Structure 1
């Protein structure tokens, strides 16, 4: 301490390696892990990995941008990176809930069935969830007083009269005149509120058998309306008087799901239907008894869509086809499907057939 008294006051505050004081030593310490890391040979597969973060790296100069070509480096790499360590592939098949390896959820970006989005929420769909859904529950509410005996549903299948010994243990027969048994209508609750599942657009162009340009125009028109590439359909039978040959390309169809279906229905309700002259509405007798409704557009009505009207001169004259629209809902009866579409803004006309 006597030697420090002769030093100036600012110099006394400098850290000096003194064994009696708990300060860091001036020399670096070497341990076993450091020596082992230096002695180990570098792995060639790990040389391609970057240790620094790209968030902290400075921006490349124009000269470096011309040289930096990651795709060229990946193409020139002779030894690929080990897939088990740097590439994760989820299982292709689902092998049950007890399997040790489970597929990630569909919302996980690494999942095989991952679909990015949704990037927008249609106004019609938001109106359905916020306003129409409670109204549908109110309109379809059926009050049952306490103590009311439960009414058993009527038999949908016909029984055998046991007039023959072969009728024993045979399954029940389908109702007369109904080859396909319709769905049984369920009451609307908060668990099964009807909604739009998909919308299919289909057009039949018999002129395409002789002139393929009609098929190109029909496919272009549906592509502009839906944003998806339509599939080409073929005829299933021969009709000699109409010169229809089996197996010839004569139509196109496409299907929209989710938000695309709601966007298309929104354009129909707010843009196309109000512009149709002397239009009374959709026939109320439409439906397949399972909650699926349909209607059609003539060529003049199809031209009212803004996607076609903005490029109307691009289509040849009198070659824009009409189309059929099939709306598939989650309702279990046509009555519930009409109730849903009426709440969305589609008018119905004519005699109602349940």
Structure 2
């Protein structure tokens, strides 16, 4: 069993039951999935660069990303129909816990001048989205093979009913929030 998953089951679940007075274990919020999303600038419509960005996501998430294409042309953004505009990966189960553990314990400490994440990333339904400015914080990425420094967003989808439950869950699981 994953280290973080066993920590959740043994230590965090009883704390959540005590704090929010749940009647059953099924009411306790848990992480459902993590979505890693990366938009592609229209200036990088080179297949080699798109493949290298895709390979970086593959290294980070241990799963091949899905490329998203534009449904229609928007001339003001210089976007053509069927042009690659982004990529995303959805992680569930053991891959989700493994990625989250590496994110909290390896990647976050490598962020320069890090003061913690803002609490405003919650959406009102118990989900949290955070943005990263560069992919170099992940130890899997080789600095010499980077073609372009690009950011990404990471959305953590939970079964929590509100932001307070999700905040307590994510804080207990190790996300550093600034208060």
TM-score > 0.5, shorter chain as reference: yes
| 2:139 is aligned with 1:139 | no
The structure with the largest strand share of the pair is 2
Deviation at 1:188, TM superposition (A): 6.9
Deviation at 1:190, TM superposition (A): 2.5
Deviations 1:123-166 (A, max 9, x none): 1111010111111111223xxxxxxxxxxxxxxxxxxxxxxxxx
- What TM-score do the two structures reach when normalised by structure 2? 0.90
Give the conservation status (yes or no) of the 8 Å contact 2:69–2:82: yes
Per the alignment, residue 136 of structure 2 pairs with 303
Give the conservation status (yes or no) of the 8 Å contact 1:293–1:328: yes
Per the alignment, residue 123 of structure 1 pairs with 3
| 2:150 is aligned with 1:325 | no
Aligned residues: 179
**Structure 2 Cα separation of the partners of residues 208 and 125 of structure 1:** 41
Deviation at 1:210, TM superposition (A): 3.4
Deviations 1:51-78 (A, max 9, x none): xxxxxxxxxxxxxxxxxxxxxxxxxxxx
Deviation at 1:218, TM superposition (A): 1.4
The structure with the largest helix share of the pair is 2
**Structure 1 Cα separation of the partners of residues 105 and 126 of structure 2:** 23
Deviation at 1:207, TM superposition (A): 3.5
Per the alignment, residue 346 of structure 1 pairs with 175
Deviation at 1:212, TM superposition (A): 2.4
| 2:120 is aligned with 1:285 | yes
Give the conservation status (yes or no) of the 8 Å contact 1:230–1:252: yes
Q: Which has the higher contact order (CA 8 A, sep 6+)?
A: 2
Per the alignment, residue 315 of structure 1 pairs with 146
Q: Which runs of 5+ in 2 are unaligned?
A: none
Q: Which runs of 5+ in 1 are unaligned?
A: 1-120, 142-186
- Change beyond 3 A, Cα 1:283–1:235: farther
1:193-204 mapped onto 2 (5 Å cutoff): 193-204=28-39
Per the alignment, residue 41 of structure 1 pairs with none
**Structure 2 Cα separation of the partners of residues 259 and 127 of structure 1:** 13
Give the conservation status (yes or no) of the 8 Å contact 1:136–1:193: yes
Give the conservation status (yes or no) of the 8 Å contact 2:107–2:138: yes
Larger radius of gyration: 1
3-state secondary structure, aligned to 2:77: coil
**Structure 2 Cα separation of the partners of residues 131 and 307 of structure 1:** 29
